[in-house]
């Protein structure tokens, strides 16, 4: 954006909001919002503690395993649904139901099925992420230009060649978009899992800090979580831009 | 009539002098209850260009895709070089109406795609691709991407890809219909040179009467409902008069008129 003839760097608006936060915090309007400077100081003081690092590790572990399973299962299932009418008819209603279902309500069922441990948290995380990944991979395959498939066939491509050299690349822009949205949903999934299933990781910290009215700590953990999610999402957006040159021209 | 005269002159020559590169025997193709092709037989002489010409819905693209092995006929056989074929093979290469280029791959990778599918080593296939990129007049665009090229240039990439696999038979499905008129004329002239210089058999689907008469050694007129070969025309006199003289040759003009007269009633 250009303001008064100066080109502002990206995310300049964060400065404005940060300043507003500081003012509201300093004014002592509500205990719920401590000043940003205090939150930042708390952030650096807790970041080195064993409790924080243990929570970070637990959350990262559940998040990464959950997201990885969602990607590794979701992309092939989506591509196969896009290629096979039968699979599509069988699975699409379920995918749509789970995409819009309030998954939080399912968490108690998962607890009954998979226990109160890490396994249930990982499955919750994967369930939050997987549906949009499936749906987007399917959409990517369905919009493929038929003549590309014929072209590959006419030049003697094997089914494996066609999968990796045509279908995957043709669907890649949609797949990356789905993974990006899926990851953002997985952040919600992992925290909900940690709050509802067993009080571990960042979920436990949120619980602890809010129960004890430690709002500085609360906001500090939230900022860390947001920064992590934002970084991953931006990295995927960068990958999407790498393939954007052909996304619009397939 | 000029038409009957042409047919009388050329018909015996066709059967006696030419060896068939592709022969289509009693092909029928049904889509459910719809009969796309009925009992169609046709010979394509080696080293020549044969056009399939007809109104839309006459099954000319269907026939070409059956020859390519992309569609399966309901009954009947296709022989290429005397051998029956049912699948795509290295003896045939296809040029697509919408170019069918990989939008994520550079020109050189697109041209080399057919060779890549045959397992030719990367350095070798790139050397071959470079040669054909130069041949079709795209030298310097090796690392460009399809979206950076004009429609005409994209079809040159499609042509280079088909040439690079060195198939005996080139199947062209309305290859110039998506390019502008001036580019199309240049393509037609280049195609005549290609037929002269390459020892290949060309099968060319078009809906343009002028284009068919201009480029063809043999024109098969297909009519719809039921789809059949209504006549085969072999222009005889203007082929060697040079690209600039064909369009005002009396025989060229007569054939164009006659074809229009016989197709007129099939166009809504």
Residue in B with minimal Cα distance to A250: B103
Q: How far apart, in whole angstroms, are the C-alpha atoms of residue B141 and residue B134?
A: 9
What does the pLDDT read at residue B9?
A: 42
The CATH number of whichever domain residue B86 belongs to comes to 3.40.50.300
Instruction: With H, G, I as helix, E, B as strand and everything else as coil, classify residue A2.
Output: strand
| Structure ipTM | 0.85
DSSP string of chain B, one letter each residue: -HHHHHHHHHHHHHHHH--EEEEEEEEEEEETTEEEEEEEEEEEETTSEEEEE--TTSSHHHHHHHHHTSS--SEEEEEETTEEE-S--TTEEEE-TT----TTS-HHHHHTHHHHHTT--HHHHHHHHHHHHHHTT-TT-TT--GGGS-HHHHHHHHHHHHHHTT-SEEEEESTTTTS-HHHHHHHHHHHHHHHHHS--EEEEEES-HHHHHHH-SEEEEEETTTTEEEEEE---SSTTS-TTTGGG-HHHHHHHHHHHHHHGGG--
Decide if pLDDT at B3 tops 60: no
B202 interfaces chain A, CB cutoff of 8 Å? no
Distance from CA of A31 to the nearest CA of B (A): 54
The domains located in chain A, with CATH, are: 38-247 (1.10.3720.10)
Question: CB B114 to CB A249 under 8 A?
Answer: no
Q: How far apart, in whole angstroms, are the C-alpha atoms of residue A204 and residue A197?
A: 11
Residue in A with minimal Cα distance to B109: A165
Instruction: With H, G, I as helix, E, B as strand and everything else as coil, classify residue A223.
Output: helix
Q: Is B83 within a domain?
A: yes
In a structure prediction context, what are the per-residue pLDDT tens digits for chain A, which is 250 residues long? 777 778 877 778 888 888 999 998 888 888 788 888 888 999 898 888 888 888 889 889 999 999 999 999 999 999 989 988 999 999 999 999 998 888 888 888 888 888 888 899 999 999 999 999 999 999 999 988 888 999 999 999 988 888 889 988 999 999 999 999 999 999 989 988 888 887 888 888 888 888 888 888 889 988 888 888 889 888 888 988 888 877 766 6
Question: CB A147 to CB B98 under 8 A?
Answer: yes
Percentage of residues in chain B having pLDDT higher than 90:
42
Q: Is B145 within a domain?
A: no
What does the pLDDT read at residue A74?
A: 95
Report which of B113, B95, B117, B120 is spatially closest to residue B206, judged by C-alpha positions: B95
Q: How far apart, in whole angstroms, are the C-alpha atoms of residue A206 and residue A23?
A: 24
* Residue numbers in B near A249 (CB within 8 A): 103, 146-147
What residues of chain B, 86 to 145, have a C-beta less than 8 Å from chain A?
A: 88-90, 92-94, 96-98, 100, 102-104, 113-114, 117-118, 145
Percentage of residues in chain B having pLDDT higher than 70:
93
Q: Is B222 within a domain?
A: yes
Distance from CA of A235 to the nearest CA of B (A): 20
Distance from CA of B100 to the nearest CA of A (A): 5
Q: How far apart, in whole angstroms, are the C-alpha atoms of residue A203 and residue B76?
A: 69
Residues paired with B75 in a beta bridge: B28
Q: Is B157 within a domain?
A: no
Task: Please write the tens of the pLDDT for every residue from B195-216.
Answer: 888 889 999 999 888 898 888 8
If one counts the domains in chain B, the total is 1
* Residue numbers in A near B114 (CB within 8 A): 155-156
Residue in A with minimal Cα distance to B112: A155
A→B interface, C-beta within 8 Å: 145, 147-148, 150-157, 161, 165-166, 169, 172, 243, 245-246, 249-250
∠B236-B240-B243 over CA atoms, to 5°? 115
Instruction: With H, G, I as helix, E, B as strand and everything else as coil, classify residue A6.
Output: strand
Residue in B with minimal Cα distance to A149: B100
DSSP string of A27-82, one letter each residue: HT--TTS--HHHHHHHHHHHHTSHHHHHHHHHHHHHHHHHHHHHHHHHHHHHHHHH
Its domain, for residue B58, covers 2-91+167-266
* Residue numbers in B near A151 (CB within 8 A): 94, 96, 100, 113
For residue B68, give the nearest of A148, A154, A246 by CB distance. A154
Distance from CA of A223 to the nearest CA of B (A): 38
Question: CB B117 to CB A156 under 8 A?
Answer: yes
Answering whether pTM is above 0.90, one says no
For residue B117, give the nearest of A148, A157, A172 by CB distance. A157
């Amino acid at each position: 954006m250009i303001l008064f003839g100066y080109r502002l760097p990206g995310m300049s608006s964060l400065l404005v909001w940060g300043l507003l936060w500081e003012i509201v915090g300093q004014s002592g309007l509500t205990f719920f919002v401590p000043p940003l400077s205090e939150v930042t100081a708390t952030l650096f003081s807790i970041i080195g503690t064993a409790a924080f690092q243990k929570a970070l590790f637990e959350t990262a572990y559940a998040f990464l395993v959950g997201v990885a399973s969602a990607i590794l299962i979701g992309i092939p299932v989506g591509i196969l649904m896009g290629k096979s009418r039968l699979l599509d008819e069988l699975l699409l209603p379920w995918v749509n139901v789970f995409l819009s279902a309030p998954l939080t309500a399912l968490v108690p069922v998962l607890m009954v099925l998979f226990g109160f441990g890490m396994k249930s948290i990982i499955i919750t995380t994967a369930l939050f992420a997987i549906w949009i990944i499936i749906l987007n991979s399917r959409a990517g395959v369905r919009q493929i230009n038929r003549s590309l498939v014929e072209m590959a066939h006419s030049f003697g491509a094997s089914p494996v060649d066609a999968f990796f050299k045509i279908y995957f690349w043709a669907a890649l822009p949609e797949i990356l978009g789905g993974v990006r949205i899926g990851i953002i949903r997985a952040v919600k999934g992992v925290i909900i899992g940690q709050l509802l299933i067993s009080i571990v990781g960042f979920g436990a910290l949120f619980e602890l800090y809010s129960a004890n009215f430690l709002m500085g700590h609360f906001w500090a953990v939230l900022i860390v979580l947001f920064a992590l999610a934002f970084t991953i999402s931006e990295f995927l957006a960068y990958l999407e831009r790498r393939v954007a040159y052909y996304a619009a021209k397939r | 009539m000029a038409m009957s005269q042409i047919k009388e002159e050329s018909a015996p020559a066709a059967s006696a002098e030419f060896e068939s590169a592709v022969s289509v025997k009693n092909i029928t193709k049904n889509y459910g209850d719809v009969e796309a092709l009925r009992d169609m037989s046709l010979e394509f002489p080696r080293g020549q260009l044969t056009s399939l010409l007809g109104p839309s819905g006459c099954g000319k693209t269907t026939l070409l895709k059956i020859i390519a092995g992309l569609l399966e006929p309901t009954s009947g056989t296709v022989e290429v070089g005397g051998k029956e074929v049912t699948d795509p093979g290295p003896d045939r290469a296809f040029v697509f109406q919408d170019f069918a280029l990989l939008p994520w791959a550079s020109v050189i990778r697109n041209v080399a795609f057919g060779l890549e599918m045959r397992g030719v080593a990367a350095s070798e296939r790139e050397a071959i691709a470079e040669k054909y990129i130069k041949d079709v007049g795209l030298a310097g665009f090796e690392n460009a991407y399809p979206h950076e090229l004009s429609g005409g240039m994209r079809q040159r990439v499609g042509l280079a890809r088909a040439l690079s696999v060195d198939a005996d038979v080139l199947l062209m499905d309305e290859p110039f219909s998506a390019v502008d008129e001036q580019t199309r004329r240049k393509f037609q002239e280049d195609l005549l040179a290609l037929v002269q210089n390459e020892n290949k058999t060309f099968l060319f689907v078009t809906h343009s009467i002028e284009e068919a008469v201009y480029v063809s050694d043999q024109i098969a007129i297909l009519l719809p409902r039921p789809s059949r070969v209504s006549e085969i025309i072999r222009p005889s006199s203007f082929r060697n008069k040079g690209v600039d003289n064909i369009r005002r040759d009396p025989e060229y003009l007569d054939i164009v008129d006659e074809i229009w007269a016989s197709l007129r009633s099939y166009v809504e």
